[in-house]
């Protein structure tokens, strides 16, 4: 009974503890509830429990769920975004976490200008260097940030990473620390009007260590809803 509510309470407590360890408060950390493959009824339950930021990794799912979930949640695009789908999604999301190429950034800029929008984005960094994951390398981040910072209809808000899957979250601590250092570096170089504020890292298996190392957005799905079934 009410599994989502119990899971959420547990996660909120752990977020608060991890925030405290890094000298911050629970309110400094944004929980994005990852709702990919989850049916609208359970998503609505989560929103009604007060989780107002939702993450999806497919444009089609955002477009389907966006009109049916009430309570005006903020939608985050967290998965790989194809350039030919940019125009369908930029007016529905609060932020795109997964900008991983100049070509994609340019397409967002072009479409945002046509639609009269400024789209907040994070650059996705493949800090683990895994071949199967998207994201720019640590070395490419500076160049991409420089290009995006000059785009009038794209607002660079920070960095995001998807760390390798690990059983023991301590194994990702060093990677999160490297992300934090890169974030500080990029912020120092490009942030002339303090818009670079978000470091999105940490998922069900490693969000506590991610927060301890400086994350202020965590993206959690399995921890809230249980294991996903891809039908
Ligand atoms: C699925 C997904 C998550 C959530 O993963 P869980 O392990 O279920 O918490 C976070 N970020 C991205 C980019 C995802 O695709």
**Per-residue pLDDT tens for 74-117?**
999 999 999 999 999 999 999 999 999 999 999 999 999 999 99
Q: What is the pTM of this model?
A: 0.97
Q: What is the pLDDT of residue 4?
A: 96
Nearest atom (ligand 1) to Cα of 204: 9
**Per-residue pLDDT tens for 31-61?**
999 999 999 999 999 999 999 999 999 999 9
User: What is the band of 191 on the pLDDT scale with cuts at 50, 70, 90?
Assistant: confident
3-state secondary structure the chain: CCHHHHHHHHHHHHHHHHHHHCCCCHHHCEEEEECCCCCHHHHHHHHHCCCCEEEECCHHHHHHHCCCCCCCCEEEECCCCCHHHHHHHCCCCCEEEEECCHHHHHHHHHHHHHHCCCEEEEEEECCCCCCCCCCECHHHHHHHHHHHHCCCCEEEEEEECCCCCCCCHHHHHHHHHHHHHHHHHHHHHHCCCCCCCEEECCCCCCHHHHHHCCCCEEEECHHHHCCCCCC
**Per-residue pLDDT tens for 192-214?**
778 999 999 999 999 999 999 99
Q: What is the pLDDT of residue 1?
A: 53
Pocket test for ligand 1, best of 55, 61, 223, 230 (most atoms within 8 A of CB): 55
Q: Does 129 have pLDDT greater than 60?
A: yes
Burial class from Cβ neighbours inside 10 Å (0-12, 13-18, 19+) for residue 122 reads buried
End-to-end CA distance of the chain: 24
Q: What is the pLDDT of residue 230?
A: 64
Distance 96 CA to ligand 1 centre (A): 14
Q: How far is CA 187 from the centre of its chain?
A: 17
Give the whole-angstrom CA distance, residue 203 versus residue 185: 24
86: CB partners within 8 A, 6+ apart: 104, 107, 108, 111
Distance 139 CA to ligand 1 centre (A): 24
User: What is the band of 29 on the pLDDT scale with cuts at 50, 70, 90?
Assistant: very high
Q: What is the pLDDT of residue 192?
A: 73
**Average of per-residue pLDDT across 170-185:** 98
**Per-residue pLDDT tens for 115-128?**
999 999 999 999 99
Residues within a 6 A CB radius of ligand 1: 34, 36, 57, 78-79, 162, 203-205, 219-223
Nearest atom (ligand 1) to Cα of 203: 9
């Amino acid at each position: 009974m009410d599994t989502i509510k119990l899971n959420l309470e547990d996660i909120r407590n752990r977020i608060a503890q991890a925030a405290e360890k890094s000298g911050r408060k629970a309110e400094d950390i944004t929980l994005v509830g990852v709702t990919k493959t989850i049916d609208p009824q359970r998503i609505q339950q989560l929103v009604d429990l007060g989780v107002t930021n939702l993450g999806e990794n497919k444009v089609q799912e955002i477009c389907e769920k966006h009109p049916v979930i009430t309570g005006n949640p903020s939608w985050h695009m967290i998965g790989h975004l194809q350039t030919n789908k940019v125009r369908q999604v930029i007016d529905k999301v609060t932020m795109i976490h997964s900008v991983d190429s100049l070509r994609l950034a340019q397409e967002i800029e072009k479409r945002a200008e046509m639609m009269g929008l400024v789209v907040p984005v994070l650059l996705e960094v493949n800090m683990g260097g895994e071949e199967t994951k998207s994201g720019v390398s640590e070395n490419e981040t500076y160049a991409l940030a420089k290009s995006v910072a000059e785009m009038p209809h794209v607002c660079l808000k920070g960095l995001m990473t998807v760390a390798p899957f690990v059983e023991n979250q301590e194994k990702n601590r060093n990677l999160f620390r490297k992300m934090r250092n890169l974030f500080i570096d990029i912020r120092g170089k490009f942030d002339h009007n303090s818009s670079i504020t978000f470091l999105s890292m940490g998922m069900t298996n490693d969000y506590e260590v991610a927060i301890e190392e400086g994350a202020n957005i965590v993206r959690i799905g399995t921890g809230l809803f249980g294991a996903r079934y891809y039908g």
